[in-house]
Structure 1
Amino acid sequence: MTTTAPVDTTTPAAPGDSLNTKHMRRILASSFIGSAIEYYDFLLYATAAAIVFSQVFFTDLGPGMAAFASFGTLAAGYVARPLGGALFGHFGDRIGRKKVLVLSMMLMGVATTLIGLLPSTEQIGIAAPILLISLRVVQGLAVGGEWGGAMLMGLEHAPAKKRGFAASFANMGAPAGALLATLAVSLFTLLPDEQFFSWGWRVPFLVSIVLVSVGLVIRLKVAETPLFQELSTKAESKKIPFTEVLTRYPRNLILGIIAGTSVYTIAGMVTVWAVSYAVEAGADKTGVLNAKAAAAFGMVITTMIGARLSDRFGRKPVMLTGVVAAALCAFPILWLVDSGTVVGFTVAVILGQALQGLIFGPFGAFTAELFPTRVRYTGASLAYQSASTFGAGFTPAIAAGLVVAAGGSLSLLGGVWVLAFVAAAVAIVLTKEGRTRDLGEIG
């Protein structure tokens, strides 16, 4: 027997014509801040995986294998993201977006704090990397449920002509979280190496519990979306949302995943693999991290610009522009990283993340407009999180493997990277433009 979700009567019956109202400002702030905190936690791990974990949890391996193993634990979190999207998406489509967002944030905060308290391999042996991987999987499940709900809170409250921009606040939270995480680790790299690797790297993880507490207070003050309220008053579908997405909307799901992979190959390449590669090539790690932080700030700006443009010209034209530009810049970015200088890395990461933001800005609305309200949380989350797994999750380890296979040359890596953008461009062309579609009538 199915149950009908309770209606949140504190929410206005329908979105207004402006985002500049007290109600919408609260919704968008919650979407942005909550997403930023969750991604601070999730991407903090990526930075630590690039420069810390190989020396704390994989000390018995050589430098190359230690880096590969460290990136492998990073990938574990990305593998868990689609599972989190399916799990939290199910409940988000059944009981509401807001309740699921609160749960995902609590889960993320606990996992991140425990990573900061985890003893090293030297202290507890093989149990240390096993526990590290387990906590990383929990992080992946949590962030898998975060983005879809945060994005839909903005999109489903917003007026039709501004929903691309409203949805992008969840997307802007990701680079903002990356900025905070990178600056936090960069600050502690100023410590002597002995202190940094013994306790300094742990402090940013422990700060998570404070940030999550603030985020929960903000998130609890927002109300459920009007579209979900309307859905909850109707007869509920007996199908499981995950099953319905796979059986009724497989084409949309596959195209969304392929299109999104382009965004995440950039993230995996320039913000994880390139950090490790540049530091090993001789670039100062503090300078590299500061450059990464500056690039994350730039990505917030280009994400906003991309979303604004998508509300005016459509999701597809803006995303295609970003994908084509990224394909043309792939080899120049790799050459800059290979310079082994902070300046070269800085130009590479800023350019890469600027292009990522241009694609990323419309991507929230792009995926949401592929699915009807009753399965939108699940469908959008599966597309987005699966793209993150194939793009960012495996990219650092694959990149390291391709460089080894090519005898140290970056040419093979560059060719594979360009092919990922070509595939994304084809997928975007094959989807329907969603800017003018009525969300309530999709499906």
Structure 2
Amino acid sequence: MGRRAGIASFVGTSIEWYDFYIYGTASALVFGKLFFPVVTPAIGVLVSFATFWVGFLARPLGGIIFGHLGDRVGRKKALITTLLLMGITTVAIGLLPTYATIGIAAPILLVLLRVVQGLAVGGEWGGAVLIATEHAPKGRSIISGSWAQQGSPSGQILSSLAFTLVSQLPDDAFYSWGWRIPFLASAVLVVLGLVIRLSISESPQLTRLKETGQVAKFPLLDTFRHHTGLVVLGVFACAIVFSASYFKNTFAVSWATNELGFERETFMTVVLIASITQFFVQPFGAVLASKFGVRKIVTILLVAELPVMPLMFLLISTGSFAWSVVGMVAATLPHVMFYSILAGVLADAFPARVRYTAISLSYGLAGTLLGGTTPMIGQLLLTASGSILPVIGWAVVTVLMSLVGVRVLLTRSAHQAAAESPETATSGVKAGDE
């Protein structure tokens, strides 16, 4: 059952992230022109990135809503609901008329649909992680949690591939109907995801909590009452996960195609290569952490990210396809291996009775504050200064935030785990292990 739960977690998160990532790509390539045509192109991209952020604003609320459902009723039911909600919303975006057809109603509807996407993905990640980690055999929670994390590169590969293909169309066809195809294709993926998710059983840890009457009545209240510090540390730990992803997959796409002269399909190929690299390299982070200790490996990976993130921007600025691939891949390696470890770290940090709510809140708040803002902050810094250097500076700050946050979180959660009963843990690799 552990392997089946891991596969179900992987497939479901792949679909959810595909839906979420295609919006980011479309916001860089399409939405400014089609939904905000009354402003200059640069401002149109900035406003488009603002609608991208709206989805992140909704994520903590989604985490609260579906966290409550997942902690009280069941992880499985919450995950089925989030998958349906995301799929329906994504297809609706693909069918949405543009500003030229319905005027101001078009961007308003786009923002509303983005909010619903944010609610869905805000509830998805935590449940997917728990379905994987809470079905895991003893000592395997870090490895099992990495199944859910594989959904991110898989979704990015699918979204990059979809937009790489439709980017081959002539501009007229691409802007009139081609950009809609990746959104409409979500319907097929959602059906596949539902079939797989319906086949898994409920989390054994939640089942035990129900049988013993220990289910939290108000998971959010319990989380803030007893675990606020850990939530804040979880937000910091997640910083680089979001900033690196959206610097690469959203901001860099806009910067490269609008400022550096890259062809649309050329730079989407750069992103696709980096995403494929992520898919194959990412799991090694969890393997290394399980073998050599979580604290040691996450520290090495985040310190390594400090020089390669600036290197990525500098190599893209050369305008060379080959050097851009080198830079993008180099910056991808450390942070994605850290990402594969993060799910197990967060799951181990909180007791089972509030775990869905707590990790969803940590991840969702990080997305709101440090993920959805990344393309917008990057564009503001670039527009205001005319230089990529301030953008590089902000990227380095987010790496340092994660380094400090995860190390303190590992210490705090290890102390808390020692003080609690064994049943509250995920029976995985302990957070503070060296």
Per the shorter chain, which TM-score range? Answer: over 0.9
Determine the C-alpha separation between the residues in 2 that align with 1:231 and 1:423: 35
Give CA deviations for 1:104-143 in whole Å, capped at 9, x if unaligned: 0000010000000000100000000000010011001001
**Structure 2: runs of 5+ lacking an equivalent:** 427-434
Q: Provide the residue aligned with 1:98 in structure 2.
A: 76
1:239 deviates by: 4.3
Choose which of 345, 363, 368 in structure 2 pairs with 1:389. Answer: 368
Native 8 Å contact 1:38 1:108 kept in 2: yes
Native 8 Å contact 1:279 1:340 kept in 2: no
Q: Partner of 1:369: helix, strand, or coil?
A: helix
Choose which of 402, 410, 432 in structure 1 pairs with 2:381. Answer: 402
Native 8 Å contact 2:72 2:217 kept in 1: no
Choose which of 282, 289, 302 in structure 2 pairs with 1:303. Answer: 282
C-alpha RMSD over aligned residues: 1.7
Determine the C-alpha separation between the residues in 1 that align with 2:9 and 2:297: 23
Determine the C-alpha separation between the residues in 2 that align with 1:377 and 1:24: 18
Query: In the alignment, residue 343 of structure 1 is paired with which amino acid?
Result: A
Pick which of 432-441 and 127-136 moved more. Answer: 432-441
Pick which of 307-316 and 188-197 moved more. Answer: 307-316
Choose which of 329, 335, 338 in structure 2 pairs with 1:350. Answer: 329
How many corresponding residue pairs? 420
Native 8 Å contact 2:16 2:155 kept in 1: yes
1:224 aligns with 2:202: yes
Query: In the alignment, residue 299 of structure 2 is paired with which amino acid?
Result: L
1:171 aligns with 2:154: no
Query: In the alignment, residue 274 of structure 2 is paired with which amino acid?
Result: A
Query: In the alignment, residue 345 of structure 1 is paired with which amino acid?
Result: S
Pick which of 329-338 and 173-182 moved more. Answer: 329-338
Determine the C-alpha separation between the residues in 2 that align with 1:69 and 1:138: 19
1:225 deviates by: 1.3
Determine the C-alpha separation between the residues in 2 that align with 1:402 and 1:253: 29
1:250 aligns with 2:228: yes
Q: Provide the residue aligned with 2:12 in structure 1.
A: 34
Native 8 Å contact 1:51 1:276 kept in 2: yes
1:426 aligns with 2:411: no
Q: Partner of 1:161: helix, strand, or coil?
A: coil
Give CA deviations for 1:361-389 in whole Å, capped at 9, x if unaligned: 10001111110000000111111121122
Q: Provide the residue aligned with 2:95 in structure 1.
A: 117
1:441/1:238 CA distance change after superposition, 3 Å? closer
1:378 aligns with 2:357: yes
Q: Provide the residue aligned with 2:177 in structure 1.
A: 199
Give CA deviations for 1:318-369 in whole Å, capped at 9, x if unaligned: 2222211111222211111222232232222222222221110100011111
Native 8 Å contact 2:146 2:343 kept in 1: yes
1:405 deviates by: 2.3
Determine the C-alpha separation between the residues in 1 that align with 2:379 and 2:123: 29
Native 8 Å contact 1:163 1:365 kept in 2: yes
1:144 aligns with 2:83: no
Pick which of 270-279 and 343-352 moved more. Answer: 343-352
1:442 deviates by: 4.4
1:103 deviates by: 0.4
Determine the C-alpha separation between the residues in 2 that align with 1:56 and 1:359: 37
Determine the C-alpha separation between the residues in 2 that align with 1:59 and 1:393: 22
Normalising by structure 1, we get a TM-score of: 0.92
Determine the C-alpha separation between the residues in 2 that align with 1:387 and 1:362: 16
1:170 deviates by: 0.8
Native 8 Å contact 1:367 1:384 kept in 2: no
Choose which of 48, 60, 71 in structure 1 pairs with 2:49. Answer: 71
Q: Partner of 2:139: helix, strand, or coil?
A: helix
Pick which of 235-244 and 414-423 moved more. Answer: 235-244
Query: In the alignment, residue 307 of structure 1 is paired with which amino acid?
Result: A
> After the TM superposition, which residues 120-131 of structure 1 pair with which residues of structure 2 at under 5 Å, given as runs?
120-131=98-109
Q: Partner of 1:420: helix, strand, or coil?
A: helix
Determine the C-alpha separation between the residues in 2 that align with 1:439 and 1:395: 39
1:439 deviates by: 6.1
| Percentage of matched positions with identical amino acids | 38
Query: In the alignment, residue 424 of structure 2 is paired with which amino acid?
Result: E
Query: In the alignment, residue 128 of structure 1 is paired with which amino acid?
Result: A
